[in-house]
Structure 1
């Protein structure tokens, strides 16, 4: 058990909430999605490296972190099996499979490489007014998948101490899993003054979230929002009050919400820039803290790309901890 951050209680004494970090020594499951939109001439256009990304991530997980092929579901649009096609229904079903039966110290891994985008935010938890989305292969017929839905399926059901590591190699993916704590390259939560300001409301929100008490969760959210000024601050506070989770969820995204992610060539092979940088950084050094890994991923990309990969989490974390999955 490790603690991070100090919050002021109702009696004005500082208290530190405890979050259980996964040891990643339980069962391991992964879901890898790669969509090239083969043969499609829609608004988004065909991609080149996404299927390669999914296959490379599967090899990477088996080689470096002890995952087994039989425990990794692959959804790619070159599959001849209809159930393995990355349609909207298949993706949502696979996300549910990934978290089903999850327990403390399990390690789950989610990877998505494909088109990403934005749509108007309807619940006030996005500072820029837009939710992030991913596009299944049948998006023209079935529409996109919104970050709120992905959070509800893959984050909300997880118990304390269960690790979910997510990688989004897609455009506008900075907060694609709706995790409320986003870290700078110095390893600090962006907008750090919020923790002291929100205080007890944040702790109440965590308790309500863990119990499934939506009424209590809403009250906690509103108590935090009352102190906010401006839409960005309000959105930040709503996100932290309603999206903070006792589960150990960490997301790596290829860029900020406002940026695009490159579909490119590296070493003569089509690949997503983020997937390439992530696997390259860990292959070069498997013993890195989260902060070191974020900086190394950015260093790999900055000479050729303008995108800035993001690190976010479901609860405050110590980025000096070693990366494991």
Structure 2
């Protein structure tokens, strides 16, 4: 097993070692090195992570046992992600915090207090070139935005196991805890396998499958969201179809203003990447793959990278969508804390 781990880890692309550097210039080029300007003439810079430093992971899976809206695959998602990170990327089990609602230890339960405490642990003492990993599989929702950084007027939320008494965790708070403190050159990869998760970490640069920066198109998003709610195929939307419809009332006249606020307040010189299971207006499926209950996004992310670890950001986004194509209506999203050349090699 140890030999297999070492072999698999070496085979994964790194900052210095990949197909492009071996002479295959049809492969994605390596990430840039050193501080990167946002645009010519701008002093603000971000620093890519080499992902060669310490590796830490926080994995959260909530099935909500004996609660209304119980799910089936979220704990399996965490188990599969833990194995994948350990065997393929060299994350040590002692550097992972696992919060699932099948554990007996009260400190390992995914309560709001434990999740917030673990988020602080994840980013504590992070240094340039560290690679941090956050994975959440569970219910997601929306609530009224109060600071004007959301195109649709709604913040995204995640549901701790005790959300009925402790409340939800809002995207602004997750950004404040896990993104704002990070130094330039620290990588945080975040995966949200939950409903309405497109901007769950409030990263202001959203990219299309063509690799270009997406601008707000509120009328189109509203129509897409309405159809997604009416189909009601997913069980992960705890609020249900009726309450979901409220999230699709767009404020088209304030969309560009919200986008500007988000870029001004949520941009970061750290290297933060988010993969989400759906657009903000969509639900995410709790389903079965290979005879096992799983979240569609968690399954697709692992499957796509196992099939081909040598992919660019753009290629990986398309590969994840291909894994779900024809089976699920949700559209996984890629967002970033800074402008991103999506043609470069994805490393982690």
Using structure 1 for the length normalisation, give the TM-score.
0.84
Structure 2 counterparts to residues 164-183 of structure 1, below 5 A: 164-183=188-207
State which of 144, 149, 174 in structure 2 corresponds to 1:120: 144
Aligned partners of 2:157, 2:171: CA distance in 1, in Å? Answer: 6
Report the counterpart of residue 333 of structure 2 in structure 1.
310
Aligned partners of 1:232, 1:136: CA distance in 2, in Å? Answer: 29
- Cα offsets for 1:122-169 (capped at 9, x unmatched): 010001000000000000000100000000000000000000000000
Alignment of 1:246 onto 2:273? no
Q: What secondary structure sits across from 1:51 in the alignment?
A: helix
State which of 102, 127, 137 in structure 1 corresponds to 2:161: 137
Alignment of 1:273 onto 2:296? yes
- Cα offsets for 1:157-203 (capped at 9, x unmatched): 000000000000000000000000000111111129xxxxxxxxxxx
Structure 2 counterparts to residues 215-294 of structure 1, below 5 A: 230-294=253-317
Q: What secondary structure sits across from 2:327 in the alignment?
A: coil
Report the counterpart of residue 300 of structure 1 in structure 2.
323
Report the counterpart of residue 37 of structure 1 in structure 2.
64
Aligned partners of 1:132, 1:244: CA distance in 2, in Å? Answer: 18
Alignment of 1:3 onto 2:36? yes
Task: Answer yes or no: is the 8 Å Cα contact 1:4–1:318 preserved in 2.
Answer: no
Q: What secondary structure sits across from 2:200 in the alignment?
A: coil
Q: What secondary structure sits across from 2:114 in the alignment?
A: helix
Q: What secondary structure sits across from 1:166 in the alignment?
A: strand
Q: What secondary structure sits across from 1:280 in the alignment?
A: helix
How large is the RMSD of aligned CA atoms in angstroms? 1.4
1:15 Cα offset (Å): 4.5
Aligned partners of 1:147, 1:270: CA distance in 2, in Å? Answer: 27
Task: Answer yes or no: is the 8 Å Cα contact 1:3–1:16 preserved in 2.
Answer: no
Aligned partners of 2:186, 2:340: CA distance in 1, in Å? Answer: 14
1:17 Cα offset (Å): 4.8
Q: What secondary structure sits across from 2:113 in the alignment?
A: helix
Using structure 2 for the length normalisation, give the TM-score.
0.79
State which of 24, 48, 54 in structure 2 corresponds to 1:27: 54
Task: Answer yes or no: is the 8 Å Cα contact 1:263–1:270 preserved in 2.
Answer: yes
Aligned partners of 2:296, 2:273: CA distance in 1, in Å? Answer: 19
Aligned partners of 1:283, 1:101: CA distance in 2, in Å? Answer: 31
Aligned partners of 1:66, 1:35: CA distance in 2, in Å? Answer: 25
Report the counterpart of residue 10 of structure 1 in structure 2.
none
Q: What secondary structure sits across from 1:230 in the alignment?
A: helix
1:5 Cα offset (Å): 4.8
Aligned partners of 1:38, 1:99: CA distance in 2, in Å? Answer: 29
Tell me the matched-pair count.
280
Task: Answer yes or no: is the 8 Å Cα contact 2:45–2:269 preserved in 1.
Answer: no
State which of 142, 152, 157 in structure 1 corresponds to 2:181: 157
Aligned partners of 1:91, 1:152: CA distance in 2, in Å? Answer: 14
State which of 94, 97, 112 in structure 2 corresponds to 1:70: 94
| Structure 2 residues not aligned, in runs of 5+ | 1-33, 217-251
